[in-house]
């Protein structure tokens, strides 16, 4: 959202931001890129469920919308925060603008709960900003209206850093998907540690997510450099240098396109198939060893970025104006 926030600020459009408070330390990683939020909901508590998140956000966010009476709520992506906030805005008769609209796997279990979240938001959003033509096509198929193809704002953010690209003997790892918790993640960790031992000339770097379901598997990774989560600019600088990426993240698939890096996607399916078609992403789920050389032997990727040219925020605000 930071490119959109900058664009609103640049054009003198009044706005306020709400931070729900999930993983405060992850907000600290981007605090230099966005203004201090006007509202902190501070909903985080240990081992909270999706239902806990829903109930914690609902009451407080409804009060904010009633007191502020905004003309529009802008949400981005497919988190539970996005789905709940959009629903509350719908109930309060506040129009919703959805950034990154139209991503689909059409499998409600993968990713869970994100696939359900984004499908629900599409039903109630007044503005649907699709990052790609495929995303727009999927929205049209669902009879969703008011669609604008914009590219993805994450490319705007990457372009803003302008880091030089190299392919050092480093492998970046990011893993946090809810549907991978438990046995799948154990297998992924075990295969990564096996590879880190075999390919000792490569440094496997893992900025580990704070979720306890990820943290509890830390002892498996004896040959991996586990570090604390990085600030966003530091993370993008690291991405610009590594040889390739192993991840179950959605956003990093787009960031890999911006930096010309291949990514082994530890999932059964992806709502970003454009990366598969372009040749820099490969679905591997828990079979890292089997597909490792696809990325290791020829890590460089060059081609037209399927996620846009880095002007998505401008297109989004142009469509609103």
Select which of 6, 23, 60, 176 is catalytic. Answer: 176
179 is catalytic: no
Whether 285 is a known active-site residue: answer: no
Contact by Cβ (8 Å): 280, 301: yes
User: What are the residues whose beta carbons fall under 8 Å from the beta carbon of 160, sequence distance 6 or more?
Assistant: 3, 310
Nearest to 85 by CA among 115, 65, 114: 65
> What residues contact residue 1 under an 8 Å CB cut-off, 6+ apart?
34, 74, 76, 99, 153
Is 271 known to be catalytic? no
Q: Which tokens go with 12? A: 């003198």
> In the chain, which residue ranges form alpha helices assigned H by DSSP?
2-10, 24-28, 50-68, 80-91, 114-124, 133-141, 153-161, 183-198, 212-215, 232-241, 251-259, 273-278, 288-296, 312-320
Of residues 114, 191, 254, 274, which has the active-site annotation? 114
**Residues pairing with 174 in the sheet:** 247
Whether 272 is catalytic is no
DSSP codes joined into one string, 45-69: -TT--HHHHHHHHHHHHHHHHHHH-
Instruction: Exactly one of 107, 178, 218, 277 is catalytic; name it.
Output: 178
Among residues 37, 51, 50, 43, which one has the least CA distance to residue 21? 43
In the residue annotation, 193 being an active-site residue is answered as: no
**Closest to 65 (Cα-Cα) out of 48, 43, 47, 41:** 41
Active site residue 209: yes
**Catalytic residue, candidates 7, 29, 98, 100:** 100
Name the catalytic one among 6, 23, 40, 209. Answer: 209
What residues act catalytically? 78, 100, 114, 176, 178, 209
């Amino acid at each position: 959202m930071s490119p959109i926030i900058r664009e609103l600020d640049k054009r003198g459009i009044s706005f306020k931001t709400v931070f729900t408070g999930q993983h405060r330390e992850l907000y600290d990683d981007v605090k230099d890129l966005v203004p201090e939020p006007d509202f902190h909901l501070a909903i985080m508590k240990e081992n909270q469920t999706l239902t806990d998140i829903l109930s914690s956000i609902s009451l407080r966010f409804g009060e904010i919308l009633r007191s502020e009476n905004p003309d529009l709520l802008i949400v981005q992506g497919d988190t539970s925060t996005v789905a709940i906030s959009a629903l509350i805005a719908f109930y309060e008769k506040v129009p919703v603008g959805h950034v990154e609209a139209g991503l689909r796997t059409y499998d409600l279990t993968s990713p869970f709960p994100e696939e359900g979240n984004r499908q629900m938001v599409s039903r109630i959003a007044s503005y649907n900003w699709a990052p790609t033509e495929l995303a727009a096509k999927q929205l049209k198929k669902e009879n969703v209206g008011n669609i604008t193809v914009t590219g993805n704002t994450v490319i705007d953010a990457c372009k803003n850093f302008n880091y030089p690209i190299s392919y050092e003997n480093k492998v970046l790892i990011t893993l946090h998907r809810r549907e991978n918790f438990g046995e799948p993640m154990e297998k992924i960790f075990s295969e990564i540690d096996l590879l880190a031992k075999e390919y000792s000339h490569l440094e496997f770097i893992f900025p580990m997510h704070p979720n306890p379901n990820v943290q509890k598997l830390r002892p498996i990774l004896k040959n991996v450099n586990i570090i604390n989560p990085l600030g966003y600019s530091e993370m993008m600088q690291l991405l610009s240098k590594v040889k390739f990426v192993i991840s179950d993240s959605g956003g990093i698939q787009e960031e890999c396109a911006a930096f010309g890096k291949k990514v082994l996607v530890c999932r059964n399916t992806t709502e970003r198939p454009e990366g598969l078609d372009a040749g820099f992403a490969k679905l591997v789920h828990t079979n890292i060893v089997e597909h490792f050389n696809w990325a290791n032997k020829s890590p460089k990727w060059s081609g037209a970025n399927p996620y846009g040219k880095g002007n998505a925020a401008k297109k989004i605000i142009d469509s609103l104006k």
